Structure 1
Amino acid sequence: MLDWPRSNVDAVIVDLDGTMVDTLGDFVQALQRMVADLPLPYRDFVVEQALVERLVGKGSENLIKGLLAHIDQGVAATDNVALFEQAWASYQHHYRAINGRYSEVYPGVRDALAGWQQAGLPMVCVTNKPAAFARDLLQEKGLAPFFPLVIGGDTVARKKPDPMPLLHACERLGTVPGRTLMVGDSSNDAQAARAAGCPVLLVSYGYNHGEPVDQVDADAVVDRLTQLRWI
């Protein structure tokens, strides 16, 4: 168990992909359907989960650019604007159609959120996923009641690891960053929290661009969110 003084925290910011929901299956499916809409050599590419795990985390645009660049060694990501726009439109269409269908809520997440709610902690979901997709996923997985406020990658001008989304969340919550806990799974979350002045807790089971999370600068790491105990 990880004991955390309740008197030191006024609210909690929670990441979505890799923290609350394992969405790699959704990403793989949407990207595979996306490349099938593109010309060769993209059309025949097989999207593997390990590759997506390394690319995910910095927003849908970066995910798509990273995949296209991987397929053609960087040409599409820098030179072919029309290809990216075609891929982006296709990805949005396919992701909207399958959002939540190939994903699962991580063990312990619902119980942890219910406990934090019972402890009187306001919660906001801050994700680099587009806000509409995030709201739909939370609704699909039964997590929406915990998050009346959702801040997506298109809500403010910059995404995590920039601190702007976290500072915006604190402003909306009426809390100060130093008393607002950031819960995430990656260096993106930790860097944003450090820059914003928020304490940060990471989970060990997330994506973190395929790198070990214990190498990230965080206040603590847990294997399940239910290991966090307010004292």
Structure 2
Amino acid sequence: MKTFSPRAIFFDLDGTLVDSVPDLAEAARRMLAELGEPTRTDEEVATFVGKGIPTMVERALSVGRSPVSAERLAQGVAAFMRHYEDTNGKLTRAYPGVAETLPRLRERGLKLGVVTNKAEAFIAPLLEELGLAAYFDCFIGGDTLAKKKPDPEPLWHGCELLGVTREAALMVGDSGNDALCARRAGIPVLLMTYGYNEGVAVDSEDCDGLLSSLTGLLPLLA
């Protein structure tokens, strides 16, 4: 696998740094119950994650079921946001290797950022709950800008915030959404093999390498 010499590394959150499906699924089930809809399993919700909360809610309401109206979707999103504020961080855990690797990256003088499609309001509280927030220099959520991944704008915005060029950045994610965002941004990208990727095998995605643990990132940094 090739090596990289970044000054900044941007990480996706759900499915890359943390396994958040238990909390997302619980909030989704509470939302569905409130709306009088059939429930969903953790496994189903895992395939709905990746393109932000509105898309996840729409999938929870409609996949294998009837399409939902814009009004119904808005009700679902509002209910999910309310319930997720309560469940966020309760059952989410950092993946093995994350807590060990982040401080070692900081010791090397690297700037670190989170670029996720999760709503910005939920990012810092979740990482603070896990004791990881202090390692990061910026948090960019799916609603921070007018556009979200796979549009390149969030990564470009991250580069501006951290004062690095695109050539000096690296993206680490878990999905084709992350890979496409990085490709469009002109930034190399590595994908974790254990993430969600909307139910698609991650080894089929266009990326610069695969990692089975975040600790595997360290030997790749020149």
Instruction: Indicate which of 179, 199, 207 corresponds to 2:196.
Output: 207
Give the counterpart letter for 1:116 in structure 2: L
How far does residue 71 in structure 1 lie from its aligned partner after superposition? 5.4
Question: SS of 2:9's equivalent?
Answer: strand
Q: Tell whether the 8 Å contact from 2:137 to 2:162 is kept in structure 1 after alignment.
A: no
TM-score by length of 1: 0.92
Encode CA deviations 1:87-124: one digit per residue, 9 max, x unaligned.
11111111000101121110000111111111100001
Q: How many residues align?
A: 220
Encode CA deviations 1:15-60: one digit per residue, 9 max, x unaligned.
1000000001011100000011113xx1xx1211221121110000
Question: SS of 2:13's equivalent?
Answer: coil
How far does residue 12 in structure 1 lie from its aligned partner after superposition? 0.4
Q: Tell whether the 8 Å contact from 2:100 to 2:215 is kept in structure 1 after alignment.
A: yes
Q: Please state if 1:52 is matched with 2:51.
A: no
- CA 1:63–1:92: 2 relative to 1, 3 Å: same
> Which residue in 2 is equivalent to 1:4?
3
Following the alignment from structure 2 to structure 1, what is the Cα–Cα distance between the partners of residues 123 and 25?
A: 17
Encode CA deviations 1:195-226: one digit per residue, 9 max, x unaligned.
00001011111011111111111101010010
> Which residue in 2 is equivalent to 1:182?
171
> Structure 1: which 5+ residue stretches go unaligned?
none
Question: SS of 2:45's equivalent?
Answer: helix
Question: SS of 1:72's equivalent?
Answer: coil
> Which residue in 2 is equivalent to 1:65?
58
Following the alignment from structure 2 to structure 1, what is the Cα–Cα distance between the partners of residues 137 and 164?
A: 16
- CA 1:71–1:213: 2 relative to 1, 3 Å: closer
Following the alignment from structure 2 to structure 1, what is the Cα–Cα distance between the partners of residues 199 and 64?
A: 18
State which drifts further: 65-74 or 18-27.
65-74
Following the alignment from structure 1 to structure 2, what is the Cα–Cα distance between the partners of residues 3 and 112?
A: 19
Give the counterpart letter for 1:53 in structure 2: A
Give the counterpart letter for 1:173 in structure 2: L
Q: Provide the aligned C-alpha RMSD in A.
A: 1.3
Following the alignment from structure 1 to structure 2, what is the Cα–Cα distance between the partners of residues 101 and 37?
A: 20
Instruction: Indicate which of 11, 24, 28 corresponds to 2:21.
Output: 24
Give the counterpart letter for 2:181 in structure 1: A
Following the alignment from structure 1 to structure 2, what is the Cα–Cα distance between the partners of residues 113 and 3?
A: 21
Q: Tell whether the 8 Å contact from 1:179 to 1:199 is kept in structure 2 after alignment.
A: no
Following the alignment from structure 1 to structure 2, what is the Cα–Cα distance between the partners of residues 198 and 49?
A: 32
Instruction: Indicate which of 116, 131, 138 corresponds to 1:142.
Output: 131
How far does residue 67 in structure 1 lie from its aligned partner after superposition? 1.4
Question: SS of 1:4's equivalent?
Answer: coil
Instruction: Indicate which of 93, 104, 129 corresponds to 2:93.
Output: 104
Identity within the alignment, %: 42
Give the counterpart letter for 1:47 in structure 2: R
Question: SS of 1:18's equivalent?
Answer: coil
Give the counterpart letter for 2:190 in structure 1: L
Q: 1:100-139, aligned counterparts within 5 Å?
A: 100-139=89-128
Following the alignment from structure 2 to structure 1, what is the Cα–Cα distance between the partners of residues 99 and 187?
A: 23
